[in-house]
Structure 1
Amino acid sequence: MLVAPIKLRGDLLTMAEHGLDPRSLIGNSGVSYEEILAKRPISCEAMSDVYAHVIAKAPADFALSCGQSIRLQYMGSLGYRLSNCATVGELLADWVRYSGNIGYPLVGSLKVAGDRWRMTFVPRFPMSPHAEEFCVTSTLAGFAKSVLNLSGHRISMRRIGFSNPAPEDSDSYLALAAEVTFGCPAPFVEGDREDLDRPIATADADLLQACEDLCQREWSQENSRVTERLYALFGLKGVVTLADASKHMGMSQRSLQRNLSMEGSGYTGVLDDYRHRRALVLLQQGRCSKSIAFELGFDHDSSFRRSFRGWTGVSVSEWRKDRVSV
């Protein structure tokens, strides 16, 4: 699947502002800096490779400064849309809904309960633990800085969780939240419910509508839009049936199948590709095959193992062994 590298473009532009050479960071990943600047769609595999190269060469603590320096306009049409949302809650909800349209590496799920809100993140495609940590950290730092700039108030991030093990120096994370934990099943952030109601001073209803029209025209031209929405749905809701997917996406089963067909894909193919990509992410996190099979909707562990061999050409145990030996 091809995605627009707008988030990656913003990260590289920010790195350039900090005196780093994006071309050197990208290295021999197979994607040029010029292609990324032009927002030319690239494959998920290529984007994952670029992030792996960048993270390997960027300073260890750069994720925080990168996120704090990011500009909403680097997010293209979505950035201008977000800056005109009426409240912080609308901003976060719009980011969750539309971030896939700009090739964001993470799927976000926003839930509100009692006096707290919680956002959980899932990678859209397999990423190294360090790349995932970078994307989560820079995203949270970007949220905090954008909310401060737009509303004049600091957003209260009470708890943050990362799926990677604790680094040797984790004190810098305390700049984001009062409580930081590592080794979680999925990255997350929790904050105060009252922050979601804070008004955004720059909000303009007319500009928001103009941005909405601009976004819809721009994104409707992207061949992967319905496919991307289905990928995002799997990331947020888990594996769902075609009938449930069509309900969540607000269209009939026939319309969903027709739109997917027009994009050169289908429900079964998207589901299989999602399972493949998500399985690699979960294996990288150390999950056992039985729990992965359950999460991905397989009837038995053996069914998942057969599918995995079909995807990769090797067994789960062989794949783990190859990863350990690298």
Structure 2
Amino acid sequence: MSQAAIRRPAPLPDAARLLGGPALTPMALIRAMVLAYEARGVDPSGALEQAQITPAQLKKPGASITATQMEVISGAAMRELDDEGLGCFARPLPWGSYGMLARASLSSPTLGVALKRWCRHHGLLAPDATLTLEVVGDVASIALRLHRDPGPMAELCAVSLLRNIHGLASWYVDSRVALLGAQFPYAAPRHADAYGVLFDGPTRFDAEHAAIHFDARYLSLPVRRDEAAMNQLLQRALPLTVRSYRRDRLLVQRVRQVLASRPQDAHNASDLAAVLNTSPRTLHRQLKDEGASLQSLKDEVRRQRATELLLRTKRPIKQVAEAAGFQNEKSFIRAFKGWTGKSPGDWRGQ
């Protein structure tokens, strides 16, 4: 979803850039914008033309557009309607509202404080929607609860708001905030597959309310942006997307978590990278930047798991090896001897 809500108008891209790249954004979101135009008695044809979306494409079931097209039409609609909420709320959000919200949270010491402020301030502008930051155990969630039925605007409202705050969170801490999942309070649309691109991670529909979920440790990261960076952001032509951040500042912790909780999915770098929605090359490079290596992390997690099972259970060595993430008993014994100088059986019996 475009982050044009917190930027000033920019020159339109040429046709090659506008239509270049994969068309993954559902046209259903554009149809909802058109409804907002109709509700205000404003003609949407100019905005559609700027984004090179034809009437036939608009009506075509299952159609999609590029991210740049989405950025262009979102920016045009926000300016022409003077509503950065795109008709999703009972009260329009005048141009500059989301920039004001972003700036008001900039002085926060951590991401957690910044998100709490953003959610609270958003409620002052749009009281028919409540955004809250919730933490349960190791999982943080940004939950969206609507106090009136948005009707056909439901999807646009939930997707745009959660994409907005997710992108801004990543910008604040200069880190890709990886999602653990997302949920929405409506039935799965025919373009449900697109949600894997919009949000990363598993998506659940027919939920009680809309929300995105992520590792709570991101909340303690410091806000790394300043006023100069904010001024530059407000003049950017490109959208503020999570994908623009190559580094995940919680990568080491997330690798440990996957190795400990899903050892069967982390036998090699390719499998682990797939779980983390990255490439093996990027995984190795970012771990090196943080002073770690995949092998050292695997050894650390496997050794901890293995010694715990050997001490606290009577499982056979073969089962301990499997639970610790080894593909066979022989490789486990060899690795354990390298760690301790003893075989698992001798170490357990000492």
Question: What TM-score range do you get, normalising by the shorter chain?
Answer: 0.3 to 0.5
Q: TM-score, normalised by structure 1?
A: 0.43
Which one has the largest radius of gyration? 2
Q: TM-score, normalised by structure 2?
A: 0.40
